[in-house]
């Protein structure tokens, strides 16, 4: 019995590793980091081959199949958690505040973030849009700063790939 379950846990561990690496590799591919993605992909597939080899050698062991599926699910969760901690890449934050645009922009600039304010027209009239490009690692910090000034500000976030003129990191 212990031997049956140890195989399932081994497979689950390998799947957690390879799926976590897959999550990170996909993000590297999207960001155009081809060499890093290639290296991560090498280890991802190597681990997967060992896992699938073990599965095929022990197809009669049902717990192995559950270990495989459990490892896949947990690998997704862990891979995303790792990526969120690492914070690869950049984001563009667009902020619309009805009455506190200047206060938000001033606080962001005081914290050494580059900010651009664009005039815009909303359903209720004129507004301003604050545009900010920053490292994903700093995203939560920036949102907290904004929400401390205006908890009702509209904030949208999208991935960004700075092409030219962006100074890496914040301006601290």
pLDDT tens figures, 67-122:
999 999 999 999 999 988 887 788 999 999 988 999 999 999 999 999 999 999 88
Instruction: Determine the Cα angle at 12 with ends 7 and 18, to 5°.
Output: 125
Q: What is the pLDDT of residue 86?
A: 83
Name the CA radius of gyration of the chain, rounded: 22
Task: Give residue 75's pLDDT.
Answer: 95
Burial of residue 172, with CB atoms counted within 10 A of its CB: 0-12 exposed, 13-18 middle, 19 or more buried: exposed
Cβ-count burial 80-101 (b if 16+ within 10 Å, e if not): eeebeeeebbbbebebbbeebb
Domain boundaries 90-160, CATH class: alpha beta
State both tokens at 155: 């904030």
Nearest of 145, 135, 109 to residue 117 by alpha carbon? 109
Residue 120, classed as helix, strand or coil, is strand
Residue 27: CB atoms within 10 A of its CB come to 21
pLDDT for position 123:
83
- Is a pLDDT exceeding 70 seen at residue 136? yes
Tell me what pLDDT residue 166 has: 61
Percentage of the chain surpassing pLDDT 70? 96
**Domain edges within the chain:** 2-86, 90-160
Q: Provide the percentage of residues in the chain whose pLDDT is more than 90.
A: 69
Q: Is the pLDDT of residue 167 over 70?
A: no
Distance CA 170, CA 160 (A): 15
Does residue 171 carry a pLDDT above 60?
Answer: no
Q: How confident is the model at residue 148 (pLDDT cuts 50, 70, 90)?
A: very high
């Amino acid at each position: 019995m212990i031997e049956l379950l140890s195989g399932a846990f081994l497979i689950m561990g390998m799947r957690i590793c390879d799926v976590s690496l897959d999550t990170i590799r996909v993000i590297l591919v999207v960001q155009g980091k081809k060499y890093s993605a290639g290296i991560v992909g090498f280890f991802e597939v190597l681990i997967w081959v060992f896992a699938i080899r073990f599965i095929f050698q022990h197809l009669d062991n049902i717990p192995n199949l559950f270990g495989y599926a459990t490892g896949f699910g947990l690998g997704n969760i862990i891979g995303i958690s790792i990526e969120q901690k690492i914070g690869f890449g950049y984001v563009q934050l667009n902020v619309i505040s009805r009455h506190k645009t200047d206060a938000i922009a001033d606080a962001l600039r005081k914290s050494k973030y580059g900010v651009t304010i664009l005039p815009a027209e909303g359903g209720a009239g004129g507004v301003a849009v604050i545009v900010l490009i920053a490292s994903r690692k700093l995203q939560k910090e920036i949102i907290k700063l904004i929400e401390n000034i205006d908890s009702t500000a509209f904030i949208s976030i999208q991935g960004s790939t700075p092409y030219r003129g962006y100074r890496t990191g914040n301006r601290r």
